[in-house]
Amino acid sequence: MQGSAIDSQAVVNYQAEVGHGHHGHPDYRVLGVIVFLIAEAMIFLGLFTAYLTFRAVAPTWPPEGTPELELLLPGVNTIILIGSSFVIHNADVAVKKNDVKGLQKWFGITAAMGAVFLVGQLYEYFHLEFGLKTNLFASTFYVLTGFHGLHVLFGLVLILGVLWRSLKPGHYSSSNHFGVEAAEIYWHFVDVVWIVLFILLYLLK
């Protein structure tokens, strides 16, 4: 994303020459990703708060006639997603040891788990007894899970992108692996959001 942040700075190496101790233009992209994720978190926080308010305001919640949510499939999905967070961390460990094969392996597994999650989510959508416009609960349910699902999809694309790039020899190394780190941080974020979401939508009665 910020591939050339360095390029434009790399014109002259005079910082090294003048010798102020720090060379070139240090890489702040990881910090950038974290700051950006604060903004992302605020969108979810806003939507969660809206959901909680609707819940609190409504005379009955979920509104009468809302079918009970099945817990088995989402539960399994949750375990898969949380598990994938641990899996992706192994990739980070691997790349720090210059082990690109390991990186590919762990990223591959994470991508598969993410894909299973998404398929599970879609399966749930098609087998639910309510639609987007059935009532307020249904609407919030679809918008929250859907918005989260989009984030999972984006995370999946990131992971696949890193996998694609890792095929090029030497693209990632123990000293240069921003893409790996960014994808991992993003994936953890998506994971944490899901845990909150799962508690709010499925477990909170």
Partner 1 sequence: MTQTLQEEATNTPAHGATEGKREWLKYISFSTDHKVIGIQYLVTSFIFYLVGGFLATLVRTELATPQSDFVSPDLYNGLFTVHATVMIFLWIVPAATGAFGNYLIPLLIGARDMAFPKLNAVAFWMIPPGGILLMSSFFFGAPGSGWTSYPPLSLVYNKVGEAIWILSVLILGTSSILGAVNFIVTILKMRAPGMVLNSMPLFCWAMLAASCLILLGTPVLAGALILLGFDLIVGTAFFNPTGGGDPVVYQHMFWFYSHPAVYIMILPVFGLISEILPVHSRKPIFGYKAIAYSSFAISFLGLIVWAHHMFTSGTPPWLRMFFMINTMIIAVPTGIKVFSWLATIWGGKLRLNSAMLFAMGFISMFVIGGISGVMVAAVPFDIHVHDTYFIVAHLHYVLFGGSVFGLYAGIYHWFPKMSGRMMNETLGRVHFILTLVGFNLCFLPMHKLGLEGMNRRIAEYDPKFATLNLVCSIGAYLLAVSTFPFIFNALWSIFKGEKAPSNPWGGLTFEWQTTSPPPHENFAIDPMLLIAPYEYGTEKAKEIIQAGPFLATAAATEA
Partner 2 sequence: MNIPGSITTLLIGILLTVTSIWYGQNHGLMPVEASEEAVLIDGLFNTMMTIGTGLFLIVQGTLIYSLFKFRRRPGDDTDGPYIEGNIPLEILWTSIPAVIVLIIAVYSFEVYNSIGGLNPMDHSVAHGHSTQQIANMPGAAIAATLPEETTAPQPENLDNATGDRSPAVEEAVTQDPATAAVRDQSLPQRKDSSAMGSTAPRIGPTPGNVGKPPDYVINATGLQFAWLFTYPDTGIVAGELHVPVGKEILLNISANDVLHAFWVPEYRLKQDAIPGKQTELRFTPSKVGEYPVICAELCGAYHGVMKTKVIAQTQDDFDAWLKEQQVASNPNDLKQTVAVNPANQAPDEFLAPFIQDLGIDRAIVQQLHSQHAHSSAS
- The footprint of partner 2 (CB under 8 A) covers 53, 56-57, 59-61
Per-residue burial over 161-178, b = 16 or more CB atoms within 10 Å of its CB, e = otherwise:
ebbeebeeeeebeeeebb
Footprint on this chain of partner 1 (rule: CB under 8 A): 1-5, 8-9, 11-12, 14-15, 17-18, 20-21, 25-26, 28-29, 31-32, 35-36, 38-47, 49-50, 53-54, 57-58, 63, 132-133, 135-136, 139-140, 143, 147
Residue type, 13: N
CB 57 to partner 2: min, Å: 4
**Per-position DSSP letters for 175-188, written without gaps between them:** S--HHHHHHHHHHH
- In this complex, which beta carbon is closest to partner 2, that of residue 36 or of residue 61? 61
- In this complex, which beta carbon is closest to partner 2, that of residue 54 or of residue 125? 54
43: partner contacted, choices partner 1, partner 2, none (Cβ within 5-8 A by kind): partner 1
35: partner contacted, choices partner 1, partner 2, none (Cβ within 5-8 A by kind): partner 1
Distances (CA, A) of 32 to 59, 151, 185: 43, 18, 11
CB 108 to partner 2: min, Å: 46
9: partner contacted, choices partner 1, partner 2, none (Cβ within 5-8 A by kind): partner 1
Q: What residue has token string 């598990």? A: 83
CB 51 to partner 2: min, Å: 12
CB 130 to partner 1: min, Å: 12
- In this complex, which beta carbon is closest to partner 2, that of residue 57 or of residue 167? 57
How far apart (Å, rounded) are the C-alpha atoms in residues 194 and 205? 17
The answer to whether 158 and 79 are in contact (CB under 8 A) is no
CB 52 to partner 2: min, Å: 8
Answer positive or negative: Cα dihedral of 108, 110, 113, 118.
negative
| Nearest residue to 25 via CA among 41, 4, 45 | 4
